[in-house]
Amino acid sequence: MKPIIRDARPADVADILRLIRALATYEREPRAVRASEDAIHQTLFGAGAQVFGHVAELDGSIVGIAIWFLNYSTWTGRPGIYLEDLFVEESIRGTGAGRALFRALAQEALRRGCARIDWAVLDWNRPAMDFYRAIGGRAQTGWQPWRIDGAALEALAA
C-alpha cells in the first residue's frame, strides 16, 4: 500500500511533534527539540502562519512529514522552498513515501513560481544523500553556513 500525501491539519500536531522528535533522535540530538505541541500548532495553523507541513498517511497513521517555508533569492529574484525537516518512519522507508513527499513539494514549488528547493543534510548521513541524489538533488559546494544566537545575539543587539 502506498502512503497518501496531504497538507498537514491541526489534528496532526501530536504526530508531527512525535516525528520531529524521531528525526532529532536519528540525528543524534534527541534532546534538541524544544518545540511544544502548542508552538507547532501556532506556527503551522496560527493567524498569518508562514510555515507549512505535508504529511504522509498510511492506513490512517502519520508516517512521514515535510515541514517547510518560503525563502527568497536576490539572484533569482524569486521565492524558493526551504525544507526544514523531512522524516519518514524507519519501518516504511523504501516504500516511496520520501519521494512522494518531495514530489508534493516540487509541485508546490512550481505552483508558487519558486526557483528551487533547498535543505541541509548532516554530513555523515549517507542514506539521506543517496536518496536526495536519486531524486535529482545535488550538494551545494562553496558555501559555509554561519549563525549567531544566544548571548552573542543579545550582546550584538545591545
Instruction: Please identify every residue annotated as catalytic.
Output: 132
How many residues of this chain interact with its own copies, rule: CB under 8 A? 68
State residue 82 phi and psi, 5-degree precision. Answer: -105, 120
Q: Tell me the three-class secondary structure of 51-83, residue by residue.
A: EEEEEEEECCEEEEEEEEEEEEECCCCEEEEEE
Residue whose entry in the numeric block shows the C-alpha cell 508534493: 104
Question: Closest approach of Cβ 39 to its own copies, in Å?
Answer: 4
Asked if 80 and 114 count as a contact pair (C-beta separation under 8 A), the reply is yes
CA distance 89 to 29: 17
Can you tell me which of 2, 78, 112, 126 binds its own copies, judged by CB under 8 A?
78
Look at strands 4-7 and 61-73 and give their pairing.
unpaired
| Using rule CB under 8 A, residue 132 touches its own copies | yes
What nine digits make up the cell of 58? 498510511
Can you tell me which of 6, 18, 24, 45 binds its own copies, judged by CB under 8 A?
24
Can you tell me which of 26, 57, 69, 92 binds its own copies, judged by CB under 8 A?
69
| Using rule CB under 8 A, residue 50 touches its own copies | yes
Q: Residue 59 or 153: which CB sits closer to its own copies? A: 153
**Residue 138: what residue type?**
R
In the complex, the residues that contact its own copies under the rule CB under 8 A are 20, 23-24, 29, 32-36, 39-40, 43, 50-51, 67, 69-79, 82, 84-85, 102-103, 106-107, 109-110, 115-124, 129, 132, 135-140, 142-150, 152-157
